[in-house]
Chains A and B, each alone.
Chain A
């Protein structure tokens, strides 16, 4: 068991050195993914500065100009109530992004923490936590959402609660399975032998090795959350009208797919690019976080 010491020494080297190497190696290139990430940044910025950019009121009807095609006056056309879609996309983006970020934030913290605990401690704790995830997984998420919203009332806070509740188990299971694999590895056993605390082992040895997959799942989860919000708004349980979110706009717009394709495409494409950009950022972050690269 002399070997242990050396392998744990290896770990320390592994987890710090290559990081700088990656940073040094990376040069900024104009690639497809960088362009998309840039675009997403622009979208973020525009959404945040919405009131400065547009002069329309997102919730004001103009029944004299419904479903108008994109023009100089209405960059993305108008919706079925004559509201400026561009303006609604900007204001709706604030809601969508806020909801998605908060939901994933909750999912990552709760999911990763429980996953670490379940994977590391094992035994009864593991079984209990896995049972919880099983219950939520094998449950139609929409039923949960309906019940929560019906019981507590429709509000953005309750929406976040409902969506978080169904988002954490996937994170939890993934972190658990990685923890289970990692804790058998030499460097973790080494850390243990060196007398590292459980806290240190979990958060300094194991968790950093999960960052890659956490980022992957969390970014993918953003997409899922945005879409789930859309399907809830179909049942009237999403963001409440007259306010919009990208999801609810896509959902209303799809009825006008043939007649006014810009209605569904505008929020749809912005949402698509944003999710794509977030996913690509996730990729970069993964490279950055992963100590073994």
Chain B
């Protein structure tokens, strides 16, 4: 297993390089000069000479491949460069934001799994029953609702009307700021998890060996808990792995609405202001998390479902 993990880790390196290269090319490809974004465009106080000076100072006049090689060399040394906009080290900018996004995402994922898996199991067991219909419809409704809409709705109820939770803001270690964003984030994902859980559970429940287990006279909960869950876990884990990545990038909307200082907003601002080093930093972070989560998902799947193991 350790060998497998190491092998997988090594395999992620080329993907990683490909990602940084694509981001680099895309950011250079999009119209909108990064140095121009520093200037006050509305009052038009732009001095070509100064623009040229800054470009020279930051090495933006070098040929593209040189710029990318420089970026890679620095990256290997753990240096992500300096933000064009804030002139801060990208690593320290990221370190400030990452905890916020991770907290919201994990809390959101927690809500999503708890709600989603429970709902999925209930409706799989009570298939056809009113409870199944209710849970299915509810979970589908959750997915069909735009996130910003849900966010505003929650904000309106819990902040304006009930005055229970703050509408926006963030303080380290205070969970109250994270609850509404996490629910907003988690609810849409919980629907997906519920549906995958339900459909996988139904698949498994129909399998020959489940029928056998029934025949053997095992208790319903035992069958469900041990046999069914174990076999349905692989697709559920896969979807959770995929969703975590989506949660991370889906954080943009929730972070904007609830005024949370996370990676999502940093990334969007970075793209809009053509702050290439910041965009690179965010993408590297998101892709790393994604690759690691994937790796973990695969390892978990292999542990849960030994049949997959034989194939490698």
Residues of A within 8 A of B (CB): 31-33, 36, 122, 127, 131, 134-135, 137-144, 146-147, 150-151, 170, 173-174, 177-178, 180-181, 184, 212-213, 216, 220, 223, 227, 230-231, 235, 250, 254, 257, 264, 268, 271-272, 275-276, 279-280, 283, 286, 292-293
Contact = CB atoms under 8 A, between A and B. Distances in A.
A140 B249 contact: yes
Interface of B: 11-12, 14-15, 18-19, 22-23, 26, 29-31, 133, 136-137, 140-141, 143-149, 152, 191-192, 195-196, 199, 202-203, 206, 234-235, 238-239, 242, 245, 249, 252-253, 267-268, 271-272, 279, 282-283, 286-291, 294, 301, 305, 307-308, 310-311
B137 A33 contact: yes
Contacts of B301: 177
A131 B15 contact: yes
Top 5 closest pairs, chain A to chain B, by CB: A138-B287, A138-B290, A275-B144, A147-B26, A279-B140
B192 to A, nearest CB: 6
B143 A223 contact: yes
A268 B143 contact: no
Contacts of A283: 136, 140
Contacts of A140: 249, 252, 267, 271, 282-283, 286
Contact of B133 (A32, A181, A235): A32
11 contacts: A33-B133, A33-B137, A134-B15, A139-B22, A147-B29, A147-B30, A184-B307, A216-B199, A250-B146, A254-B152, A293-B206
A138 B19 contact: yes
A203 B77 CA distance: 49
A71 to B, nearest CB: 24
A37 B18 CA distance: 44
B279 A276 contact: no
Contacts of B22: 135, 139
Contact of A137 (B133, B206, B290): B290
Given A140-B286, A272-B144, A276-B141, 14 more contacts: A31-B133, A127-B11, A131-B11, A134-B15, A134-B290, A134-B291, A135-B15, A138-B19, A140-B252, A142-B271, A143-B279, A227-B146, A257-B152, A275-B144
Contact of B146 (A178, A268, A286): A268
